A and B are shown apart, each in its own frame.
Chain A
Amino acid sequence: MAAETQLKVSDEVAVEITKMNKWFGAFHVLRDIDLTVYQGERIVIAGPSGSGKSTLIRCINALEEHQKGSISVDGTVLSSDVKNIDKVRSEVGMVFQHFNLFPHLTILENCTLAPIWVRKTPKREAEEIAMHFLEKVKIPEQADKYPGMLSGGQQQRVAIARSLCMKPRIMLFDEPTSALDPEMISEVLDTMIELAEEGMTMLCVTHEMGFARKVANRVIFMDQGQIVEQNEPEEFFNNPQSERTKLFLSQILGH
C-alpha cells in the first residue's frame, strides 16, 4: 500500500486553484477553494451530494465558469478567452457519470473524432491510436459498433479511451461508476487503477472508498462548497479530524 501511494509524484504543478469562488445565481456553490495538484497525483474528492465536488472539477476544464479567484491548468490561466479554454480542454480529459458517448458515431469514430479535428492527426494515425487505447480498456472488438449496442461498463471504458486518445496530461472523473450496475463497477475501476499506476494525474469524484484507499495519494473531503479536510488516505480513513468528516465516514462505511 505504502509503495503504491509513493508513486511518481513530481514537484511540477498540474493544477493551481487559488481563492476560487463560484455562484449559481445567488447560491454560493464553491467558497474560497485553494488546491494545488502536482503532476502524477491521484486525488479522490469525496463529500455529501450538493457539496460542490462535481462543480469543482467541472471548473477545472471550464465546463463551469468561476466568478472569483483563479485556476491555472498546466500554466495556462483560465479566462473567458475561448482559445485559452479550448487549449486547456484539449489537455484535460474528462469522464462523465452518464458516459456521454456520441450515439451517432461508432466506437472508433468516437475515439478518433477529437484527435482528427482538434489535434489535426491524420485519420489513419488517429485510428491506430484509438485501437491502441481500446485494446488498453479491453474492448477492441467493439470498435465498429455503436454506443447503444454496448453495456454501461463497456460504454464507460470507451469514454475513458476516448479521453485518452487526446493524450491528456490530466484526467477528471465525475462519478464514473455511479450510473453503473454493481457487477460493471469493477471493470471500470480496474481500468482507472491501471491508468493511475502509469502515473496519470487524476482528480476523481467518487463514492468508491475502496478505490480511494487503494489508488489515491490524497483524499479531499468537501462540504457546503468548502474543502473541509484533506489527507493521505490512510490517515483520512483511520484518523479523521473534523466532526463532519467523521459523520460522513460513519455513514458511508457504516455497514
Chain B
Amino acid sequence: MAQEHFAFVRSHMLPEAPPPAAERGAIKWLRENLFSSAANSLLTVVSLYVVIQIVISAAPWFLNGVWDSPSLTACRDILDGNMGGCFAVLTERWNQLLFGFKYPSELYWRPGLAFILLFVAGAPLLFYKLFPSKMLIFTGLYPFIAYWLIWGGSILVPVFALLGVLLGVYVYKRTVAASAGMAVIAGFVAALIFWILSGFITAPMENVLAIEAVPSRDMGGFMINLMLGVVCVSLSVPFGIVLALGRQSSMPIIKWICVVFIEFIRGVPLITLLFVANVVLAYFLPPGTSFDLILRVIIMITMFASAYIAEVIRGGLAALPRGQYEAADSLGLDYAQAMQLIILPQALKISIPGIVNVAVGLFKDTTLVSVISMFDIVGMIRGPILASAEWNGVYWELFGFAALLFFVTCYGISQYSQWLERQLQTDHR
C-alpha cells in the first residue's frame, strides 16, 4: 500500500532562499559573540555603558578643541571655561615637534624629501615580490642621499662614504672563500681605513658641490627619533646576524669576542650607554676632535640593539634541525653559501617576531636621548615648548600627539611583520 505512494516527480524547482535571519550576518555575529548567555549579555551591556560614558566625557575635549590660538591663555579665553583641548599648540609648534627648534625652516623640504624617498627605498626591500629588483640599487644609494639631504654640505662626504662601503664589500667578496669570519673583519677594516684616509681629502674641500650644511646640534623633533630608529634598526640586523653567527663560530677568538660583546651590552642599561656616548667617549678621543653626537648615539643604540637581535637570531638558528646544515654541507656549499642560501633565510623567518619586538622597543627607546640633552620629540616637548611662556601647562595634547606618532609607526611595523610571516609560509603544516 505504502509502496505505491513514494513515487514522486518534482513539478517546480525551489528558488535559492536566504538563511533565516537569526543565522545571518550581523545578527548571527551579535548572538554568538555578545549575547551567547545571560552572563555575557550582562557583560556586554555593562561594557557598552562604560564605553559610552568614556566617549561622552572625552568627546567635548576633541570637539571643542581649539586649533588656532597664539598661546595657552588665549586658548583658555576662547574656551571660556568649557572643556576642550588646546590643539593650537600642535598647529603653532608643528615645525618644532617635527624638526626641532633650530633646523632652518626654509630647508624643511630636505628632510621631508628624505622621508618620502625612504618609502621609495624601502618598498623593494619590504615588498620584494611587488617591485622590480633593480629598485634595490636606489635602496643601496638611499642612505647616502638621505645623509646629504639632511646634513647638507659637500657631496664628496657621502660619495666617499659610499666608496668606502663598496671597497669593504669588494674586500669581503675577495676573501670570503678563504674564511667568512675573517672576510667580514677584513672588509670592515678596509672600509674604516678608507674612510679615515678620505677624511683628509674631504676636509679641505668642504665647499665642493655643497648645499647649505646643517650641523647635528640643530636637529631635533620627531625627525631625530625617525632617523635613529631607521638607521639603528637597519644597521643592527646585519650586525646582529654577524654576532649570532660569530657566537656559533668554531674559531675560539671570534666566538669569545662575540660572547663577551653580547653579554656585556645586554647587561648594561641603554641609558648608561647613552651617557657614555654623550660624556665619557669624549675623554677617550684626542682633544680637538669633534665626533658628531648623533653618530655617537647611533653607534651606541646600534650596539645595544644588535646584541639583542643576535640573541633572537641565535634562537632561530638553534631551532633549525641539524639536517639542514648537513644537507647544505653534503652538497658542497661552503660556509658563506650555506649560511646565505639555506640557514639564514630559515632562521631569520623564525626570528621575525623577535626581531620586530626588538625593533619596536628600540624605536620607542630613541626618546631616551632626551635625557642626554638632545631635543628629540620628547626633549622638544619637555624643553622648549613646555618651558615657553605661551604654552606652559599643555600636557595632554602634546604627549598625546607624540604617542600617536609612535603608535602609528609601531603598529605599522607590527602589521607589516605579520603580513611578511604569512608571505614566507611555505611549509603547509
> Which residues of A are in contact with B by a Cβ distance under 8 Å?
61, 63, 82, 86-87, 89-94, 96, 98, 100-104, 113-114, 117-118, 146-149, 162-163, 166
A148-B428, A148-B429 are contacts. A98–B346 as well, Cβ < 8 Å?
Answer: no
Contact B332 A86 (CB under 8 A): yes
Residue ID in chain B nearest A148 by CB atoms: B427
Which 7 A/B pairs are nearest by Cβ-Cβ distance?
A90-B332, A100-B327, A148-B427, A100-B323, A114-B331, A94-B330, A89-B332
- Which A residues are CB-close (under 8 A) to B326? 63, 94, 96, 100
Q: Is B342 an interface residue (CB 8 A)?
A: yes
The reply to whether B427 and A103 form a contact with Cβ atoms under 8 Å apart is yes
State in angstroms the CA–CA spacing of A143 and B424 once bound together. Answer: 18
Q: What are 30 A-B interface contacts by the 8 Å CB criterion?
A: A61-B329, A63-B329, A63-B330, A86-B333, A89-B330, A89-B332, A94-B327, A96-B323, A98-B321, A100-B323, A100-B324, A100-B327, A101-B327, A102-B328, A102-B346, A104-B345, A104-B349, A113-B331, A113-B341, A113-B342, A114-B331, A117-B337, A118-B337, A146-B427, A147-B427, A148-B428, A149-B428, A163-B330, A163-B331, A166-B331
B330 — which chain A residues lie within 8 A by C-beta?
Answer: 61, 63, 89, 92-94, 96, 163
Complex Cα distance, B177 from A87, in Å, reads 13
Q: Whose C-beta in chain B lies nearest to the C-beta of A159? A: B327
Q: Specify which chain A residues have a CB less than 8 angstroms from the CB of B290 in the assembled complex.
A: none
Query: Does B426 belong to the interface (CB within 8 Å)?
Result: yes
Does B68 count as interface, using CB distance less than 8 angstroms? no
Bound form: Cα–Cα A98–B322 in Å: 11
Question: Please, how many residues of chain B have a CB less than 8 angstroms from a CB on the other chain?
Answer: 24
B332 adjacent to A146 (CB under 8 Å): no
B334 CB-CB contact with A under 8 Å: yes
B interface, by DSSP: helix, strand, loop or mixed? helix
Q: Check if A89 sits within 8 Å of B331, measured CB to CB.
A: yes
Residues of B within 8 A of A (CB): 321, 323-324, 326-335, 337, 341-342, 345-346, 349, 424, 426-429
- Nearest Cβ distance between residue B226 and chain A, in whole angstroms? 32
List B contacts of A61 (CB < 8 A). Answer: 329-330
What is the chain A residue whose CB lies nearest that of B326? A63
A146 near B426: Cβ-Cβ < 8 Å: yes
In Å, the complex CA distance between A83 and B335 comes to 11
**A100-B323, A103-B346, A148-B426 in contact; A90/B329 too (CB < 8 A)?**
no
Docked Cα-Cα span, A117 to B176, in Å, equals: 14
Separation of A104 and B352 alpha carbons in the complex (Å): 15
Q: Are B332 and A114 in contact (CB under 8 A)?
A: yes
Cβ contact within 8 Å between B424 and A104: yes
Complex CA gap A149/B425 in Å reads 12
B55 CB to closest chain A CB (Å) equals 47
A82 with B345, Cβ < 8 A, contacts A96-B326, A98-B323, A146-B428 known: no
A118 and B333 alpha carbons, distance in the complex (Å): 6
By beta carbon, the residue of chain B nearest A172 is: B330
Chain A positions within 8 Å of B345 at CB level: 104
B346 near A104: Cβ-Cβ < 8 Å: yes
The complex places the Cα of A93 from the Cα of B321 at a distance, in Å, of 20
Enumerate chain A residues within 8 angstroms of B349, measured Cβ to Cβ: 104
Give complex CA distance A101, B342 in Å. Answer: 10
- Is the beta-carbon distance between A166 and B332 smaller than 8 angstroms? yes
Q: Which of B323, B327, B333, B428 contacts A117 (CB 8 A)?
A: B333
Q: List residues of chain A with CB within 8 A of the CB of B342.
A: 102, 113
Cα A114 to Cα B337 in complex, Å, equals: 10
Residues of B near A93 (CB, < 8 A) are 330
Q: Contacts of B328 on A, CB cut-off 8 Å?
A: 102
Taking a contact as CB atoms under 8 Å apart, the answer to whether A117 and B324 are in contact is no
Distance in Å from the Cβ of A31 to the closest Cβ of chain B?
24
**New A-B pairs, 16, CB < 8 Å, besides A94-B330, A96-B326:** A63-B326, A82-B335, A90-B331, A92-B330, A93-B330, A96-B330, A100-B326, A101-B327, A102-B342, A103-B426, A103-B427, A104-B349, A104-B426, A114-B332, A147-B427, A166-B331
Are B331 and A162 closer than 8 Å at their CB atoms? yes
In the complex formed, the residue of B with least CB distance to A110 is: B327
Q: Which B residues are in CB contact (< 8 Å) with A89?
A: 329-332
Task: For A103, give the chain B residue with the smallest CB separation.
Answer: B427
